[in-house]
Amino acid sequence: FDSRLPLVNRSDGTKNGETFAPAKDQFQEELVIRPLHSGDIYASFQFRTLWDTDFLQEGQKKVSHYRLFPKSLGQVLSKFSVQELHISFTQGFWRTMQWGQPFIPSPPGAELWVWFHDTVSDVDGNWKELTNVLSGIFCASLNFIDMTNTVQPSASFKPLGLGNATDHRFLRYATLPREIVCTENLTPWKKLLPCGSKAGLAVLMKSEKLFHSSFHSQAVHIRPICQDEQCTSKAWELRQTLNVVFDHYTSGQGKKEWSLFKMFSRTLTEACPLASSSKVYVDITDNPELFELSPATPLLSQAVVLGDRRTYSVYDLTRAETFGQLRSFNLLLRWKGDNMLRPLLHAERYVAGFGLQTGEIHTVIYNNHPYRAFPVLLMDSVPWYLQLYIHTLTVTSKSRDNKPSYIHYQPAKDRHRPHLLEMLIQLPPHSMTEVTVQFERALLKWTEYTPDPNHGFYVGSSVVSALVPSMVAMSTNFTQDQPLFSSFVPVKEESSYFVRVYTEPLLVNLPTPDFSMPYNVICLTCTVVAVGYGSFYNLLTRTFQVDEPSPPLAKRLANFIRRIRGVPLLA
CB 265 within 8 A of CB 208: yes
Question: Which residues between 76 and 95 bind another protein (CB under 8 A)?
Answer: 91
**138 or 312: CB nearest another protein:** 138
Helix axes 123-138, 183-191, angle to 10 degrees: 100
In the complex, the smallest distance separating the C-beta of residue 129 from another protein, rounded to whole angstroms, is: 5
- Length of the chain, in residues: 571
Question: Which residues between 354 and 393 bind another protein (CB under 8 A)?
Answer: 375, 377
Question: Which residues between 415 and 474 bind another protein (CB under 8 A)?
Answer: 424, 450-452, 465-467
Query: Does 65 contact another protein by CB under 8 A?
Result: yes
Query: Does 266 contact another protein by CB under 8 A?
Result: no
Using CB under 8 A as the criterion, what x/- string covers residues 302-341 for binding another protein?
A: ----------------------------------------
**95 or 206: CB nearest another protein:** 206
Euclidean distance between CA atoms 23 and 231, whole angstroms:
19
Query: Does 301 contact another protein by CB under 8 A?
Result: no
Stretch that binds another protein, among 129-137, 239-247, 339-347, 427-435 (CB under 8 A): 129-137
Euclidean distance between CA atoms 545 and 529, whole angstroms:
28
**Binder among 38, 141, 297, 480 for another protein (CB under 8 A):** 141
3-class DSSP string for 486-522: HCCCCCCCCCEEEEEEECCCEEECCCCCCCCHHHHHH
The DSSP secondary-structure symbol of 93 reads -
Query: Does 207 contact another protein by CB under 8 A?
Result: yes
First vs last C-alpha separation in the chain? 121
**Binder among 23, 56, 147, 182 for another protein (CB under 8 A):** 182
Query: Does 489 contact another protein by CB under 8 A?
Result: yes
* Residue of 534, 494, 498 whose CA lies nearest to 376: 498
**230 or 479: CB nearest another protein:** 230
Q: What angle do CA 279, 283, 286 make, to 5 degrees?
A: 160
Other Cβ atoms within 10 Å of 358 Cβ, number: 13
Euclidean distance between CA atoms 494 and 491, whole angstroms:
7
**61 or 342: CB nearest another protein:** 61
**Binder among 3, 9, 164, 302 for another protein (CB under 8 A):** 164
* Residue of 381, 290, 405 whose CA lies nearest to 338: 290
Q: Which amino acid is at 162?
A: L
**Binder among 139, 373, 432, 442 for another protein (CB under 8 A):** 139
Which run of H or of E encompasses 469?
Answer: strand 463-469
In whole angstroms, what separates CA 149 from the centre of its chain? 14
CB 462 within 8 A of CB 434: no
**233 or 394: CB nearest another protein:** 233
**26 or 438: CB nearest another protein:** 26
Query: Where on the chain is the footprint of another protein (CB under 8 A)?
Result: 4, 18-21, 60-61, 65, 91, 128-129, 132-133, 135-137, 139-141, 143-144, 154-155, 158-164, 166, 178, 180-184, 187-188, 206-208, 210-212, 226, 230-234, 375, 377, 405-406, 408, 424, 450-452, 465-467, 489-490, 492, 498, 515
